[in-house]
Structure 1
Amino acid sequence: MDYPKSVPSVGLVNGKFVDENPVNGTPGSLIPAAWGNSITDEVVNVVKAAGLVPDEADLGQLLLSIQKISQSDSAKYALDTGASGTYVASYAPALKALVDGVVLCFKAQNGNTGASTFSPNGLTAAPIVGAAHSALQGGEIVANGDVWVQWNSSIGTGSWVLIDSTGGAFQVANASKSQHAVALGQLAGAIGTTAPQFDSSLKLVTTAFLARSGKQLSGVVPFTGALTGGASHVGGFLYGWSATANSYSLPNTVSLAIPVGAVITLANFGSNSMAIVPQGTDKTQTPSLPATSSSFTLVSGASAEFTHVGSGTWFITGNAVNSSSADFAASIGLSGYQKLGSWIIQWGTASAIAAGGSLTVAYPLTFPNAALMTLPGNSAAVGSTANTCTVGVKYGGASQCTFYANGTVGSPNVPWIAIGY
């Protein structure tokens, strides 16, 4: 609508109405009936569109009508009548041209399975793109979902940008900053940065972080001679292999901030024993012995896991602890013993038993419960390998036994072996 410029002699001044001026004798502008009716009809149409009944005495109807129409937004909502991927909707009043920024909503009749288009009021169908300005891939629109699109003439030759779609997936551009949403396609390749070693936050875990945290071997380190442990050895497998003596100093848990649960695996492939030495105030501990700052001996062919259990203590597990465990303690010599868990094997020699006499021998270690049997070996006189007599054994409790020489040729030596628990 506009001022009645086409009406002859309407009397507009500078395109606007003016009042009559009796002093100057200038007439006022005319108000044509057609123009007055058109103004009134436009206002009445707005009132009716808002669902109100026009009332001549109500001077607030136009404002109320505009507010109601704006709140209902019914002019921008329609039902889809197209097919999957080709969405069509008719709005009232009808859209005659597209303007950048216009937002429309439609209720989808079908979901999409790939690239899609939208045509309102018979206008040329244009692509629907996601927030990344890329064609839809499928699943962004679902049947009976409400879909909001916004026209952008600068994307391609003009596209509808999917602002929201209830029940559908949402397309995002690839993340490039710390607060960006991540696209699924990015997860197939490298993304972000690996968190620092021992990080315990809720950051995204990468395979590199897993390796450094000991979830898989972080590396394999062969060495010869003396090697000082570092934080990079955590989660790794290290082995000494030279013919000369090797040694390894465990990482300093204080200066290197080694966390509880850190694990290092060590193996001795060399021909000599390997000394494993704690650093600083750190200690090592086996299942049956108290924590100690002394070195742990890893014998040739043995391996062990060293786990930091807190307070600077490295707990040792693996086959290497058998030799240091009280359950597998041993005293090796001409007489001695070997513990095998609850079982104990002991051995020795009853020397120079007088012919026809006896000799009581104390076991190297008192059996905790009982000696089950003591067996004598071949007996011979001192300095001779010839058998001289038969030998008997008398049980003497858990700490000793007595040997008897039944013969006349004197002073036999009797090797023996005992088993108990």
Structure 2
Amino acid sequence: MPNWSGGILTTKGQALQAKVDAGQTLLTLTKMKIGSGVLPTGQTLQGLNDLVAPEMIVPISAVSAEGNVSTITGVITNAGLTNGFNVRELGVFAQDPTLGEILYSITTDSAPDYFPPEGGAITVSEEFNYHITVSNASNVTAVLNSSGLVTVSILQQHNSDPNAHSEAIAKHNSSLNAHAGLLRLWQPIRAYVAGDICYSPTGASYKRFECTVAGTSGATEPTWPAVGSTIVDGTVTWKVVDIKNFLPLAGGMVTGDVLGITASQLDNSKKLATTEFVKKAGLQLAATAQYTAGPITLSAAQAGQLIDLASGYTGTITLPAAASIPDGSIYYFWSGANVAVPVQRSGSDTIYVNNSTVTSINLNSGDSLILMKTGAVGVGAWIAIGGTARLPFISQFGSSITGNGYQKLPSGLILQWGTAAIVSGGAVTYPIAFPNGVYWFVPAVTAVINFNSAYASAAAAPGLASTIVYHGGGTTPYNISWMAIGK
């Protein structure tokens, strides 16, 4: 069983301790050593400069202080040890400002333990704790060896010490790059995508840099230009933005424009939507305005509204001057009026419907209409982009509603009708030719001259542009009404 004697200071250790007590230096402990030597006759421990027979260096793994007692701890194993030995002596070394490293203190064991060589079934370890009594424990420091071993208790003691990592924390916090990712500081040779933002301690505190062209930043930070400017950094293009314009507050309220980055048109995430994004989405009506009587003239402020006409509405609706509102402004109409309501242009503006130009479009009961201001075809121009009121102007619904007229349907079916004064065997010519064929043709005598001759019939195969009609009047012209269906 070990029986260590009290440690004593060597002569050089006493001289160093005097300097420490005088406040000339700190006591910096550098390492411990163990050895197997026996003090020769005629020598004293105080006069030693090293152990009598040093065997192993014991790196300092931990240092602690309680009152005026400082404790240093070291741990060793027999890994790599070729020859075992009896641990008879333990020395503590310190740094003298004049002499360099010296043997500061030493203790001996009169009943030493044997420290075996490597090669057994298990690795043998041993922990050494050396207690040093000083007048002021704060004057004692130790050089901790990064390769030194620690026990669980040493590690727990270290982790519970609030000052354990103070030096590392201070170094970390003083580094400009320590929180670069967290603070979104500019970083070299980094890939950025459009919409990324970064900051820099080298730029003014109110500047923010927005990536407008994706790429990889350069090896050195650029010199940031003035607000509103752009700069190429490696293959990245940055725009300099003044963040003071983002949330100018007065009395807790936003008083200026709050600028943002517009997401892609079909973005479905939880990003905040800018007014530009809402406009691109095209799904929001600004309001609904119902009118019970007219006429009315719309204003630019009503863009995006639904103009709702009540059943008793009469009169016209006049659009605002197209030049007074931005391109892309949309007006929505729905009519419940019992009479046709013209939606008419302002001044000499133009309304385009199916490549035709008109001055007004009628809204019949139940009709809808969507008009958009467009600069693509002129400064004062509107285009009908939707609604049932535009159907009569579409080629699939082409018509001529007259005494001799026609009506086209989206299926391709064409209805034609008319009247003609012709002799028997004369031809009825259609207002328009049927492109593909005639399914049905019916003639009828509309003015009876002789009851017995009041009949009419068509040729067996009606033509595409005209059809022969026979009646009982011979060479006397009869008034014939007719109707044809074809495609």
TM-score by length of 1: 0.50
**CA, structure 1 residues 410+220, in 2 after alignment: closer, same or farther (shift >3 Å)?**
same
Q: Which residue of 2 aligns with 1:334?
A: 403
Q: 2:95 aligns with which of 30, 40, 54?
A: 54
The residue identity in structure 2 corresponding to 1:365 is I
Give unmatched runs, 5+ long, in structure 1.
Answer: 1-31, 60-64, 70-78, 83-87, 96-102, 106-176, 181-189
Q: 1:194 to 1:293 in 2, by over 3 A?
A: farther
How far did residue 93 of structure 1 move? 7.2
CA distance in 2, matches of 1:211, 1:331: 39
**CA shift in 2, pair 1:222/1:42, >3 Å:** same
Match of 2:27 among 44, 52, 76: 44
Please give the alpha-carbon distance, in whole angstroms, between the structure 1 residues aligned to 2:253 and 2:156: 42
CA distance in 2 between counterparts of 1:326 and 1:33 reads 109
Report the Cα distance in structure 1 between the residues aligned to 2:21 and 2:341, rounded to whole angstroms: 105
1:347: which partner in 2? 417
2:134 paired residue number: none
In 2, Cα distance between the equivalents of 1:380 and 1:282? 46
Q: CA deviation at 1:375?
A: 1.8
Offset of residue 323 of structure 1: 1.3
Answering whether residue 457 of structure 2 is matched by residue 391 of structure 1, we say: yes
Contact 2:246 2:257 in 1 (8 A): no
Q: Deviations over 1:323-343 (max 9, x none)?
A: 122331222233211111333
The alignment-based identity, stated in percent, is 22
- The equivalent of 2:355 in structure 1 is 289
Residue identity opposite 2:162 in structure 1: Y
The aligned counterpart of 1:217 is 285
Count, aligned residues: 273
Task: Measure the CA separation in 1 of the matches of 2:375 and 2:95.
Answer: 83
Checking the alignment, whether the CA contact within 8 Å between 2:428 and 2:467 is kept in structure 1 is yes
Residue 232 of structure 1 aligns to a residue in which SS? helix
Contact 1:235 1:263 in 2 (8 A): yes
Separation (CA, whole Å) in 2 of partners of 1:323 and 1:298: 11
Moved more, 327-336 or 389-398: 389-398
Residue by residue over 1:165-198, the C-alpha shift from the partner in whole angstroms, topping out at 9 and shown as x without a partner, is xxxxxxxxxxxx9767xxxxxxxxx9857969xx
1 CA distance for matches of 2:332 and 2:347?
Answer: 20
Report the RMSD for the aligned CA atoms in angstroms: 5.0
The residue identity in structure 1 corresponding to 2:390 is V
Secondary structure of residue in 2 paired with 1:254 = helix
Q: Give ranges in structure 2 of 5+ residues lacking alignment.
A: 1-14, 32-59, 63-92, 101-139, 145-153, 172-243, 264-271
Q: Which residue of 1 aligns with 2:4?
A: none
User: 2 CA distance for matches of 1:329 and 1:33?
Assistant: 113
Per the alignment, residue 438 of structure 2 pairs with 372
- Alignment partner of 1:310: what SS? coil
Matches within 5 A, 1:15-414: 36-39=19-22, 42-45=25-28, 54-57=95-98, 89-91=160-162, 202=262, 204-205=272-273, 210=278, 215-223=283-291, 224-241=293-310, 243=312, 245-256=314-325, 258-260=326-328, 262-279=329-346, 282-286=349-353, 288-290=354-356, 292=357, 294-311=359-376, 312=379, 313-316=381-384, 317-341=386-410, 342-351=412-421, 353-354=422-423, 357-367=424-434, 369-379=435-445, 381-382=447-448, 388-393=454-459, 395=461, 397-406=463-472, 412-414=478-480
Shift of 1:221: 0.8
Tell me the secondary structure at the aligned position of residue 95 of structure 2. Answer: coil
- CA separation of 1:58/1:253 partners in 2, compared to 1, >3 Å: closer, same or farther? farther
Cα shift at 1:42: 4.8
Aligned-pair CA distance for 1:380:
5.2
Greater fraction strand: 2
Q: 1:263 to 1:384 in 2, by over 3 A?
A: farther
Q: What residue is the counterpart of 1:115 in the other structure?
A: none
Quick one: distance in 2 between partners of 1:384 and 1:202? Answer: 81
User: Which string of whole-angstrom CA distances, capped at 9 and with x for unpartnered residues, describes residues 273-306 of structure 1?
Assistant: 22222336643222x223x362223233311111
- Give the aligned partner of residue 419 of structure 1: 485
Larger Rg: 2
SS in 1 for 2:390: helix
Q: What is the CA–CA distance in structure 2 between the aligned matches of 1:240 and 1:384, rounded to whole Å?
A: 55
Higher relative contact order (CA 8 A, sep 6+): 2
- 1:390 is displaced (CA, Å) by 4.6
Give, in angstroms, the shift of residue 268 of structure 1. Answer: 2.3
Tell which deviates more after alignment, 48-57 or 337-346: 48-57
CA-to-partner distance for each residue in 1:309-336, whole Å, 9 max, x for gaps?
A: 4344332122111112233122223321
Distance verdict in 2 for CA 1:37–1:364, change over 3 Å: closer
* 1:30-85 deviation digits (Å, cap 9, x = unpaired): xx9986441468523388899996253489xxxxx99x99xxxxxxxxx9979xxx
Corresponding residue number in structure 2 for 1:139: none
CA distance in 1, matches of 2:467, 2:330: 48
Kept in 1, the 8 Å contact 2:369–2:388? The answer is yes
Secondary structure (helix, strand or coil) at the match of 2:301 reads helix
Report deviation, 1:266: 0.6
CA shift in 2, pair 1:220/1:244, >3 Å: closer
